[in-house]
Amino acid sequence: MAPPFFAIISGAGSGTGAALARRFAQSYAVVLLSRKPSSYEPIVADIRASGGTAIGITADASDPAAVDAAFARIDEEWPGSKLAAAVYNGGAGMARKPFLELQLSDLDISIETAARGLFYFAQKSLPLLLSAVDSAPHPPSLLVTGATASVRGSAFFSTFAAGKFAQRAITQSLAREFGPRGVHVALAVIDGSIDTPWGKERVVNNGVEDGKISPDAIAESYWHLHTQHRSAFTQELDIRPFVEKF
Amino acid sequence: MAPPFFAIISGAGSGTGAALARRFAQSYAVVLLSRKPSSYEPIVADIRASGGTAIGITADASDPAAVDAAFARIDEEWPGSKLAAAVYNGGAGMARKPFLELQLSDLDISIETAARGLFYFAQKSLPLLLSAVDSAPHPPSLLVTGATASVRGSAFFSTFAAGKFAQRAITQSLAREFGPRGVHVALAVIDGSIDTPWGKERVVNNGVEDGKISPDAIAESYWHLHTQHRSAFTQELDIRPFVEKF
Amino acid sequence: MAPPFFAIISGAGSGTGAALARRFAQSYAVVLLSRKPSSYEPIVADIRASGGTAIGITADASDPAAVDAAFARIDEEWPGSKLAAAVYNGGAGMARKPFLELQLSDLDISIETAARGLFYFAQKSLPLLLSAVDSAPHPPSLLVTGATASVRGSAFFSTFAAGKFAQRAITQSLAREFGPRGVHVALAVIDGSIDTPWGKERVVNNGVEDGKISPDAIAESYWHLHTQHRSAFTQELDIRPFVEKF
Amino acid sequence: MAPPFFAIISGAGSGTGAALARRFAQSYAVVLLSRKPSSYEPIVADIRASGGTAIGITADASDPAAVDAAFARIDEEWPGSKLAAAVYNGGAGMARKPFLELQLSDLDISIETAARGLFYFAQKSLPLLLSAVDSAPHPPSLLVTGATASVRGSAFFSTFAAGKFAQRAITQSLAREFGPRGVHVALAVIDGSIDTPWGKERVVNNGVEDGKISPDAIAESYWHLHTQHRSAFTQELDIRPFVEKF
């Protein structure tokens, strides 16, 4: 039987994506999008083991055809289910290089991942979110994962920042257009290293405890954004470790 | 018997202050500061009726001597109790006037309320918050209520914006100094009218439902800020009605 | 004979581009890039009539091959001439539309014009600017024309803002990387309508005199940026009519 | 005989103030305000020796009575002379200290110097600037000297930032109110050390040449701001050495 509401998490294979999927699965069925089944399978299993509902779909969120297919698949699996939250949790695209060593393709990848992917994901999600405004338990939400580079173009990060700035522009525009229609669009500017299972050896902030951002803590903030009353929407917040310089 | 932890809310007589006091009272004993007993008395009664612990203290938060007396009083009432959260929820100071009709005293009042008051309140609170870092259930927090004028100097709001900008400067500086020591300092930029009991007749956003900010919704966001893991502190967030132009 | 120094102005067919070409032609030979010869021909003629040196090259600044060809052509025409200033004065890409009526191609055009074009133009220009650092009369400069949408994602402007935000990101990154090497990289955020010969009938700011930005005034600010001492570089400035709301 | 137009420079004793006075003296009679005659005397002599017109007035720009007296004195000296430009070039107030070691008086001094002083100086200047709108050769201007701390509250700089943020708020509000009336109000955010005669031994940016900001270069940018056409006002620009990290 189709669940009444679901959430969709792109980039579910990242540490943040996995935590988001688990958090939203406490209240909704969840769809995990990621490029490889191996990224979402353990999380889907985990959610199911905890009594939740989850499906994984193999899709590159920056590929329109794959996103089309994913939404079609959801409609088949769970006909009539309403979209309560869509999270665009982008990956990668970060090339740290002197500008003169970069290629146009570095820029293209960053734009594709951060901006073009969000654009298309939003075009598929927003009509569904709009149609859930009157029935969903919380304002339907489009939540986007930004980075330091969303608000600062550092030396050697020109292409990464270009994509992340463009993503922030889209998020702001959508907030201003769809907020008044009842959809909550917000950006979380993640300013620091995330504590992922596969990055344990990387030392940041002198290795101090909690010097890397807990993905579960990020997920709590997204859940808070999602559950905000419509009279009190946050459009943008920053998230960083207590010891991070900023 | 002294409660293990308490929160202190200044400007407890405002709609936001009352909501904050009620929200934090679900987990802590709370101290309500406001200029007139009539502002805090019903809220204190309300909290006690719900099984919470609360005291009200008559004090103008922008008056150093009154703040000194308030902290001394708390120490007498609840010796050994630790400060888990201090909320500087300023009031007033808003003069909307052509610049050439303003007086230096308009500027002074705004600075006193928004900046000088925060400065002194922070000087009293931070040593107590620091001493709670190791034992408190959540990172001890200094939370500050900003406004649109914290980030924008509009025409005819020069003095109000001056105070609010100064307040934001202090908040940022404190976040950078005390974050690494485990205290969470954050600013909420409230961008819109608040739905207070005494402002029901004021029409904003064409009178649309939820076009004024729910004080309880603000309080939820402050509580979220307070409970953020120290690896994932938010330093600043905006809060506005879904229909608000920005 | 090759002039000792030249400036290159992309988007020379716009009102701003023409004014920039004329202003920089007072001190340097200038190259005007635009998509159609009819855009640059009258300006080139004008500059020559005033005793200046100018050539026009037909090239779409967002097309890498065309930009390659343009730089090769300059090298043939003026071998050994040094690049004193490169101005990326983008055009177009502005689609004002509800988000759900936009196509990915609207996003692509904006990114191509504002960000991809700048990226490639900068990759060709920066090595030449670097090689002029020791000999040029003023710090060699890469100057970029931004817009309101560089700093604000308004409703219905998602794709335009995406390109302009991305452009700003690149400009910031380049300023941070190439400033210390002696090249001045700056962004002018043009916030208002420009007073072009072909837009005289469009009414803005209630038709008040000087309610549209004078292209010559913009050109003066770019010239000021170019002539700033390297101890006092401006990275970003806004330009708007005195009556413009902001 | 009274000159037709004059400029007034507060904080004329600083390196920047002296350079500003000299630059504006190329076109206007100038009034130099500073706390000690020894600060302005050599500059006044210098300007006169170059054929310019200048008077020095001993006044603390943050003292309303002193500012009143200064404006009265100007009216006596040069009756009927119009004010073309007023520059609020604040001094001092910078205390770099751990927050818990600061006193309320540190905050008061910063607010007084940066914000209260500007407020009063603006109240005296703006009526005069407004009355010059129709006759002055350039839009009458109120120009303000900001600092890094105008836009960033760094650790240990809470009081300095408070004053500078407040100053920026006032400047923004005035720009929005008086711009449409023809007066140009702008802030220059000086982000770096200034190369003053008395600070030669202080090493910044590893002692690299031009690693400190040339006061004359700052003055050129102020002059550019002053001479901007009213269709193309800049409200805020940053100024920093090419090697400065930002």
Three-state secondary structure of D42-109 = HHHHHHHHCCCCEEEEECCCCCHHHHHHHHHHHHHHCCCCEEEEEEECCCCCCCCCCHHHCCHHHHHH
Residues of C in contact with A149 (CB under 8 A): 169
Spell out which residues of chain C touch residue A88, defining contact as CB-CB under 8 Å. Answer: none
Buried b (16+ CB within 10 A) or exposed e, C223-235: bbbbbbbbbbbbb
Give D62-85 pLDDT, tens digit per residue: 899 999 999 999 999 999 999 999
Cα–Cα distance measured from residue A208 to residue C223, given in angstroms and rounded to the nearest whole number: 49
Q: What is the pLDDT of residue A93?
A: 59
Q: Are D70 and D57 in contact (CB under 8 A)?
A: yes
How confident is the model over B84-91, as a mean pLDDT?
91
ipTM score of complex: 0.97
Q: What is the pLDDT of residue D129?
A: 98
User: Can you read off the two tokens belonging to residue C149?
Assistant: 């949408």
- Per-chain mean pLDDT for chain A: 96
Higher-confidence residue of A66 and D12: namely: A66
* Residue-wise pLDDT tens digits, A157-184: 999 999 999 999 999 999 999 999 999 9
Q: In this predicted structure, what is the pLDDT of residue B13?
A: 82
* Chain centre distance of CA A198: 19
- pLDDT, residue C232, reads 98
User: Has residue D28 got a pLDDT over 90?
Assistant: yes
Is D125 a residue whose pLDDT tops 80?
yes
Note the pLDDT of residue A199.
81
Q: Are D109 and D60 in contact (CB under 8 A)?
A: no
Facing C214 at nearest CB: one of D184, D229, D240: D229
Contacts of A176 in chain C (CB under 8 A): 153-155
Task: With cut-offs at 50, 70 and 90, classify the pLDDT of residue B201.
Answer: confident
| CB atoms B158 and D165 under 8 Å | no
Distance from CA of C120 to the nearest CA of D (A): 23
Nearest chain A CA: its distance from C98 CA (Å): 8
Q: Most D CBs within 10 Å: which of B67, B142, B158, as the mutation test of the D interface?
A: B158
Alpha helices per DSSP H over B78-230: 104-111, 117-132, 158-178, 215-227
- Chain D's closest residue to B124, CA to CA, is D100
Question: Given a cut of 80, is residue C167 above it in pLDDT?
Answer: yes
Determine the Cα–Cα distance for residues D162 and B109; give it in Å rounded to an integer.
15
User: Which of D177, D181, D183, D189 is the best residue to mutate to test the B interface, defined by the most B CB atoms within 10 Å of its own CB?
Assistant: D177
**Can you tell me the mean pLDDT for C32-56?**
97
**Residue of D242, D243, D246 to mutate, interface with C, max C Cβ within 10 Å:** D242
pLDDT at D93 over 70: no
pLDDT value of residue C33: 96
pLDDT of A153 over the 70 cut: yes
pLDDT at residue D91 tops 80: no
Write phi, then psi, for A37 (nearest 5 degrees): -55, -35
Confidence check: pLDDT of D43 > 80: yes
Q: Nearest C-alpha of chain C: how many angstroms from D155? A: 23
Mean of pLDDT values over B90-117: 90
Nearest one of B88, B95, B138 to B116, comparing CA atoms: B88
> Please, what is the average pLDDT of chain D?
96
Mean pLDDT, rounded, for C7-31: 95
Q: In whole angstroms, what is the distance from residue C162 CA to residue C188 CA?
A: 17
DSSP state of D216: H
Q: Which of chain D's residues have a Cβ under 8 Å away from the Cβ of C214?
A: 229, 231-232
**Interface touch A240/B217, C-beta < 8 Å:** no
pLDDT at B91: 67
Asked if B109 and B61 touch (Cβ cutoff 8 Å), the reply is: no
With cut-offs at 50, 70 and 90, classify the pLDDT of residue D119.
very high
Q: Name every residue in B having a CB less than 8 A away from some CB of A.
A: 139, 176, 179-180, 182, 184, 195, 210-214, 216-218, 220-221, 224, 227-244, 246
pLDDT digits (tens, 9 = 90+) for A192-231: 999 988 888 889 989 999 999 999 999 999 999 999 999 9
* Count of beta carbons in the 10 Å neighbourhood of residue C197: 8
What is the predicted pLDDT for the residue at C95? 77
In this predicted structure, what is the pLDDT of residue A92?
61
Q: Residue B92 pLDDT > 70, yes or no?
A: no
Chain D interface disruption, residue of B97, B105, B119, B181, most D CBs within 10 A: B119
Instruction: Give the model's pLDDT for residue D202.
Output: 87
What separation in angstroms does the CA of A48 have from each of A12, A55, C95, D127?
A: 16, 9, 45, 72
List residues in chain A touching C: CB distance below 8 A.
Answer: 64, 98-100, 102, 104, 107-108, 111, 115-116, 119-120, 122-123, 126-127, 149, 152-159, 161-174, 176-178
C203-228: pLDDT as tens digits: 998 999 999 999 999 999 999 999 99
- Residue D94: per-residue pLDDT: 75
Closest-CA distance of chain A to residue B125, Å: 19
d(CA A4, CA A1): 9
Mean pLDDT over each residue of chain C, to the nearest integer: 96
D9: phi then psi, degrees, rounded to nearest 5: -120, 115
